[in-house]
Each structure stands twice: as structure tokens, then as C-alpha cells.
């Protein structure tokens, strides 16, 4: 039975979350790259408490622990009260700055990075994407992981389930296809020549239905390609995904690559998706290559990035996370 894959003409679904530069992405980046929390706030508190450089007047004046010295030193109580007030003022100041700092960090996380002077995406290596929303579903079609959708089919337009270009990027015309649909042969060109025929037959046997793609090159020279393949059901997707990650066919740009274990790829938690990330084995040529497979229901996405040998991991991380969110 043919399936209607075009978006409905009516309004979009109630949930159309924007994915680019979300707080969840920032939190995932922080968790993956800085697993241990900084102890700076504790150091500030300790420094604030040590400013008066005197014995704690509260402890010295408490009934349980009388202050040292003879009784004639009692007239110095006003000085102790001044010290107490100073300590309280420092404590209050630290508390206020702590609240302000927390509010500022929250604001930076919640606002678009490019809305803040000096905090454009380029400052930490990440790109600036337009607002990304999940495409609407055709009328009466369930979400890919809804109850009753046993095949985990993405009924939304597959072409809109591929990330858009980031700001300043030049599109890769070779991946434009016809009306956004990519011939299988063009997808197979991404793999080593000797593996293309067998892989093409496997994709046909395993129920490949559609392929969409998008590619771009950013001003720093990084070239990104994203391919999205839709199969008859999630059962076939799992078979193909397992074969691809077992190196049945390797991308032509990185015939020798090592899978990343224990890094950010395993710390990413996007519901209903799974990832395998590979890094080209050294020695590199002119460029270094990373690629990732994303499995989500009836769709497999392949992300290939090539650039300078010092290709920042953040770029791959950002692209793979956003593409996972769009499919999950």
C-alpha cells in the first residue's frame, strides 16, 4: 500500500520543539567534555570567609565556647560586632553574586548564543543553525515511536528530517538530487568502489524506500554530508545498521577508521536513537574524517565530516546530536 509522505496542509503538530542550540545540547556538551564539576564556587566561599583574617566572632562569643583572654577584655565587644557585621556583609555579597552568576548562566543557556555579544557559536567551535523544528505529520499519521506504530515509521517528509545548512555554509550541489530525493547510486558513491555493488543489492533486498541528503562546506573548510535512508520497517533498519557498523562497507574517505568507545558518543542520550561514531585512523592525509551512523526507527542517517587534521570534536558532536534529535 502506498503511503502519503507529504506534510499535511493544516497547522503543525502541537509539539514542534526547536532543536538548535537547546539547553539540553549545552548540558550534554558540558557533561561529555567536562565530567567533573569545577570547585571554584567552594574556593570563592572559602576566600570570602577568610577575608576578615580574624577568629570567627560567632564561635568566640558563643556560650558553649567562651572566648580566650581575661574578663577585662570584654570592652572589645563592639569591635567583634563590627567584625561580625563584616563577615555577614561578605557572606551576603557572595550569596548575591552567586545568585547573579547562576541567573546569568541560566540566561546564557536559554538565549540564542548569537544574541549575546562575544558568545557567537564560532567562539567555541560550534556552528549557528537556524531554528530547527520537527516537520508536521500527515493528517491521521502517528509519530514514529507512538503506540500502535509497530514499524516505527517516520511518516513526515524525509527531506525535512535532514539538518539544514548552518549559517555561512555553501551547499553541496552534488547532494541536491531531484526535488531533494537522492538516487541510491549517489549515496553508494560515498563508499569504497569495490563495496558499492554488494551494498546496493543489500539495500534493495532489505527494503530501502527513499534516500534524502544534504551537504555543505563551512568557511573553515569543513565538509559535511548527511544521508537519510528510509526502510520498510525498523526491523530492516536494524539489520542494515548492524552490517554497516561491522564494516561491511566503509566510506571512501576513511577506509580505515576506529570506532569511538567510552567518549561523548556513548554519553549522548537522545530517546529512540542509537549512534556509532568512527574516527579515521592515523596517519591522516590532507584531511581528517569522522563519520557516524544514527539509527532511529525505520531511518538510518550517515553523517560524514572531513576537514583539517585538527577537526574539532565539538563540530561532529553538535551535528550528530542535532540530527539525532530531529529523528528521535
Going from the C-alpha of 47 to that of each of 36, 43, 83, 85, 90, the distances in angstroms are 22, 6, 16, 17, 10
**Inside any domain, residue 33:** no
- 10-16, long-range: CB within 8 Å, 24+ apart, which pairs? 10/136, 10/139, 11/136, 12/133, 12/135, 12/136, 13/134, 13/136, 13/137, 15/134, 16/133, 16/134, 16/136
**Inside any domain, residue 117:** no
Give the dihedral of Cα atoms 7, 13, 18, 22; nearest 10 deg: -140
Residue 228's DSSP bridge partners are 212, 301
> 201 pLDDT exceeds 90?
yes
**Inside any domain, residue 39:** no
Q: Which residues contact 11 (CB under 8 A, 6 or more apart)?
A: 136
Domains in the chain, number? 1
**Inside any domain, residue 120:** no
Q: Tell me the pLDDT tens digit for each residue of 293-308.
A: 999 999 999 999 999 8
Q: Tell me the pLDDT tens digit for each residue of 17-29.
A: 455 455 555 565 5
pLDDT > 90: percent of the chain: 47
Query: When comparing pLDDT for 202 and 66, which is higher?
Result: 202
87's grid cell: 563577615
Q: Model confidence at 78, in pLDDT bands (50, 70, 90)?
A: very low
Angle at 171 between CA 115 and CA 275, to 5 degrees: 80
pTM: 0.66
For CA atoms 176, 226, 5, 202, give the dihedral sign: positive
Q: Tell me the pLDDT tens digit for each residue of 230-261.
A: 999 999 999 999 999 887 888 998 888 888 87
288's grid cell: 581528517
Residue 228 belongs to domain spanning: 130-327
Site of grid cell 549559517 = 167
For CA atoms 163, 322, 152, 198, give the dihedral sign: positive
**Inside any domain, residue 46:** no
Cα(320)–Cα(328) distance, rounded to whole angstroms? 12
46's grid cell: 572559602
36's grid cell: 567533573
**Inside any domain, residue 212:** yes
**Inside any domain, residue 303:** yes
Cα(274)–Cα(253) distance, rounded to whole angstroms? 23
30's grid cell: 558540558
**Inside any domain, residue 10:** no
Q: Which helix (H) or strand (E) holds 304?
A: strand 299-307
Amino acid at each position: 500500500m502506498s503511503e502519503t509522505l507529504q506534510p499535511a496542509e493544516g497547522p503543525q503538530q502541537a509539539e514542534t520543539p526547536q532543536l538548535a542550540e537547546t539547553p539540553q545540547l549545552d548540558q550534554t556538551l558540558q557533561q561529555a567534555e567536562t565530567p567533573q564539576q569545577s570547585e571554584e564556587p567552594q574556593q570563592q566561599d572559602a576566600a570570602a570567609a577568610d577575608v576578615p583574617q580574624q577568629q570567627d566572632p560567632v564561635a568566640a562569643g558563643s556560650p558553649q565556647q567562651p572566648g580566650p583572654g581575661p574578663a577585662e577584655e570584654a570592652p572589645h565587644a563592639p569591635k567583634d560586632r563590627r567584625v561580625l557585621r563584616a563577615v555577614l556583609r561578605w557572606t551576603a555579597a557572595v550569596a548575591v553574586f552567586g545568585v547573579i552568576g547562576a541567573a546569568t548562566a541560566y540566561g546564557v543557556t536559554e538565549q540564542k548564543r548569537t544574541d549575546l555579544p562575544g558568545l557567537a557559536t564560532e567562539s567555541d567551535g560550534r556552528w549557528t543553525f537556524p531554528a530547527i523544528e520537527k516537520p508536521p505529520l500527515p493528517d491521521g499519521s502517528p509519530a514514529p515511536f507512538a503506540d500502535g506504530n509497530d514499524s516505527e515509521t517516520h511518516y513526515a517528509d524525509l527531506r525535512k528530517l535532514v539538518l539544514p545548512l548552518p549559517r555561512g555554509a555553501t551547499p553541496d550541489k552534488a547532494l541536491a538530487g531531484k526535488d531533494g530525493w537522492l538516487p541510491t547510486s549517489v549515496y553508494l558513491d560515498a563508499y569504497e568502489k569495490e563495496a558499492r555493488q554488494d551494498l546496493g543489492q543489500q539495500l534493495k533486498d532489505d527494503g530501502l524506500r527513499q534516500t534524502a541528503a544534504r551537504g555543505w562546506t563551512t568557511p573553515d573548510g569543513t565538509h559535511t554530508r548527511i544521508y537519510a535512508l528510509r526502510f520498510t520497517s525498523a526491523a530492516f533498519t536494524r539489520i542494515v545498521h548492524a552490517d554497516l557498523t561491522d564494516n561491511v562497507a566503509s566510506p571512501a574517505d576513511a577506509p580505515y577508521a576506529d570506532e569511538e568507545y567510552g567518549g561523548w558518543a556513548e554519553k549522548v542520550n537522545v530517546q529512540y536513537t542509537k549512534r556509532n561514531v568512527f574516527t579515521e585512523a592515523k596517519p591522516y592525509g590532507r584531511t581528517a574524517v569522522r563519520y557516524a551512523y544514527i539509527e532511529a526507527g525505520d531511518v538510518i542517517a550517515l553523517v560524514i565530516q572531513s576537514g583539517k587534521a585538527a577537526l574539532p570534536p565539538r563540530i561532529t558532536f553538535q551535528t550528530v546530536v542535532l540530527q539525532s534529535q530531529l529523528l528521535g
